[in-house]
Amino acid sequence: MLENDFFKDVNNFVFNLLKKELSSKVVYHNYSHTLSVVEATNEIALAENISKGELEIVLLAAWFHDTGFTKDASTHETDSLEIAEKYLSNKGFEAAKIKEVLLCIEATKMPQKPISKLGEIICDADLFHLGSENFNEKTNLLRSEWELLCDKHLTDIDWLKENIKFIGEHKYFTSYAFNKLSAQKTTNWLKVQKELKKVTIKTKEQELKAKTKKEEVKRKKAKSERPERGIETMYRVTLKNHIKLSDIADTKANILLSVSAIIMSIALSTLFPKLDKADNYYLIYPTMLFLFVTVVTMIFSILSTRPKVTSGTFTKEDVKNRKVNLLFFGNFYKMPLEDFQEGMTELMNDRDYLYRSLTKDLYFLGIVLNKKYKLLRIAYTIFMIGIIASVFAFVIAFQLMKNAGVDTILG
């Protein structure tokens, strides 16, 4: 490496420039990288047996090739050319040599397309790390710089794919670099591919865990949104009690119907045949009262057990507006299965809708029970009073008949 006063001044200029004006976000293209490129350039240049004058040009290009990062990372090549040209011109460097230095700096622009031997040397030096053992360290710094300076964030998989593609397409131009660095570059390339496989498997495992965790959270959320056990018990017990009361009412109505039917059949078979005789005229009114009471009792008993079914239809709009109770068969028995399933899914996914439906079902069941027991109470009252009245009517009728028979004898 040339270590004369001129190159010492160049070194000091680049060092102070990068120290003062380079952003702290530039963690890769800094003075350390510049010094590494200069050393690699000198190593390759000496191995390629170039002249001292050519060595001077390519080393100057190495010192200045990334100074443009002090201004703008996106245009650093152009800015580097301006900085190098201005400095060398002020130092009285020959214009022809300055032009060659600038051509070498331009050659480092990606993708690299050197047009001279010196350009090939600096291009290989700039990417010397691809075939070195500190490849991972350098690429990690470059990734950090992309994130900090360019706000370019890549996933581990995308970053490794980017490296695999870049190394796979890259080639060293000089014989020395090719012979010395190709083997290690291939090793680094294979390591990156291996790392990609590991990261891909790990990422898939993490995605699977995340998916499982998400499903678990969703399941727990759905479970937490279900009715609490106490509320479920309340609805279950209350509805069961109401249904049991309905069964009791129906049983009582059936008993009353059976008794009334038996009484009516006895009356029709025993009393009615005797009514056509003149001597039994006194039995007509008690018998008619008896039959009337029995018939009215049966009517109220039937009314208490008489079912009432609604239209059995509802629209999707009704479900959407929460206007229909899907827990009662009378609201859906005429609907297509698909519409009913869709409505029930909507019901199960909406906790408030489910509660309101259960409450509504309980309320209307209570209304029905009230009607049943009201009619049943009327039926039992009529039956009880009617039986008593009928008995009194028969007693009075027999007493009148007895008195009428005594008067006839005395007369």
Query: How many distinct helices (H) and strands (E) make up the chain?
Result: 14, 0
Domain end call among 213, 247, 263 = 213
d(CA 291, CA 272): 11
Q: Which domain holds residue 108?
A: 5-213
pLDDT at position 217: 79
What span, in angstroms and rounded, lies between the C-alpha atoms of 218 and 401?
A: 87
Q: What is the mean pLDDT of each run of 10 residues along the chain (411 residues)?
A: 82 93 92 94 93 93 93 89 93 92 92 91 94 92 90 90 92 94 94 93 88 81 62 77 81 84 77 63 75 85 73 59 60 66 70 74 80 86 86 81 56 47
* Residue 322: per-residue pLDDT: 58
In whole angstroms, how large is the CA radius of gyration of the chain? Answer: 53
| Residue 309: predicted pLDDT | 59
Whether residue 21 sits in one domain with residue 120: yes
Does any domain span residue 76?
yes
What is the reported pLDDT for 398? 78
pLDDT recorded at residue 85: 94
Work out how many domains the chain is built from and give that number: 2
Same domain, yes or no, for 54 and 196?
yes
* Residue 410: per-residue pLDDT: 44
What CATH number corresponds to the domain at position 147?
1.10.3210.10
- Residue by residue, DSSP assigns 313-373 as ---HHHHHTT---TTSGGGTTTS-HHHHHHHHHHHHH-HHHHHHHHHHHHHHHHHHHHHHH
From CA 26, how far away is CA 139, in angstroms rounded? 13
Predicted local distance difference test score (pLDDT) of residue 314: 61
Residue 66 in any domain: the answer is: yes
In a domain, 83, yes or no: yes
Cα separation, 340 vs 323, in Å, equals: 14
Q: Does 218 fall in a domain? A: no
Together in a domain, 132 and 244: no
Shared domain for 59 and 99, answered yes or no, is yes
318 and 201 together in one domain: no
Q: Is residue 25 part of a domain?
A: yes
For 129, 316, 328, 354, the CA distances from 344, given in Å and listed in that order, are: 65, 11, 12, 9
DSSP 275-294: TTSGGGGGGHHHHHHHHHHH
**19 lies in the same domain as 158:** yes
Give the chain's end-to-end CA distance (angstroms, integer): 168
Residues 261 and 134 in one domain: no
Q: Which among 327, 320, 264, 313 has a CA at the least distance from the CA of 292? A: 264
Q: Is residue 128 part of a domain?
A: yes
Q: Which pLDDT does position 207 carry in this prediction?
A: 85
Q: How far is CA 39 from CA 33, 84, 282, in A?
A: 10, 19, 141
Predicted pLDDT at 197? 94
Global pTM exceeds 0.75: no
Give residue 409's pLDDT.
46
CB 249 within 8 A of CB 372: yes
Residues 127 and 200 occupy one common structural domain: yes
- Measuring CA to CA, which residue among 375, 366, 382, 383 is closest to residue 246? 366
Residues 199 and 257 in one domain: no
The amino acid present at 212, given as its one-letter code, is T
- What is the per-residue pLDDT for 210? 86
Residue 223 lies in a domain: no
Residue 221 domain-assigned? no
